[in-house]
Amino acid sequence: MKNLFFIILMSVMLFSCEQDDNSQNNSAGNTNISQQDLNGNWRITYFAEDGKDETFYFSGYTFTFNNNVVSATKGSIVVNGVYSLSGSSSSSGSSSGSKFVITFPETDPWKELNEDWDILENSANKIKLKHISGGNGGTDDLVFEKN
């Protein structure tokens, strides 16, 4: 009887976990990003540093992410950087350290993107990121949308 109860309990738990994982991966609240999610061309539709909208710095640039290299292209201008993905999310959808780390050259305005961004949302066409400064507690927001 104990074995039967244990098998039923484990089956219910496994089924519940599979449902949670699938619903999270299909929702706009997904806080995981894979390389496959980054395929295609992206643009920055919002960038704010300490609440000040500075999106205009990146207007007209197309961003591509491939094998940990990010390229920003605008006409004949190409700026290369690197990125990495780390952490994961819980099955409830809450962030448990999911990060999108971006590093560009240490020149203006590119150095403003050099952060370990918390992944707030990942959908097929939009990625919302936030960075809270450890020094002054300022908040930066970054949104990429697929072209």
Q: What is the pLDDT of residue 29?
A: 60
pLDDT score for 89: 42
CATH of residue 58: 2.40.128
Torsion of CA 134, 140, 141, 146, to 10 degrees: -90
* pLDDT given at position 133: 81
The answer to whether the Cα torsion of 104, 107, 55, 46 is positive or negative is: positive
Closest alpha carbon to 122 in 92, 100, 91: 100
- Give the 3-state secondary structure of residue 90: coil
Whole-model pTM? 0.73
> For each of the chain's 147 residues, which pLDDT tens digit applies?
444 333 333 333 333 333 333 333 333 467 778 888 899 999 999 999 999 999 999 999 999 999 999 999 999 999 999 999 987 543 334 344 689 999 999 999 999 999 999 999 999 999 999 999 877 778 999 999 999
Res 116: pLDDT: 94
Q: Residue 85 is part of which domain span?
A: 2-146
Q: State the total domains in the chain.
A: 1
Q: Long-range contact list for 65-71, CB < 8 A, 24+ apart?
A: 65/35, 65/38, 65/39, 66/38, 67/35, 70/102, 70/104
Query: What is the model's pLDDT at position 60?
Result: 98
* Separation between Cα atoms, residue 84 and residue 58, nearest integer Å: 20
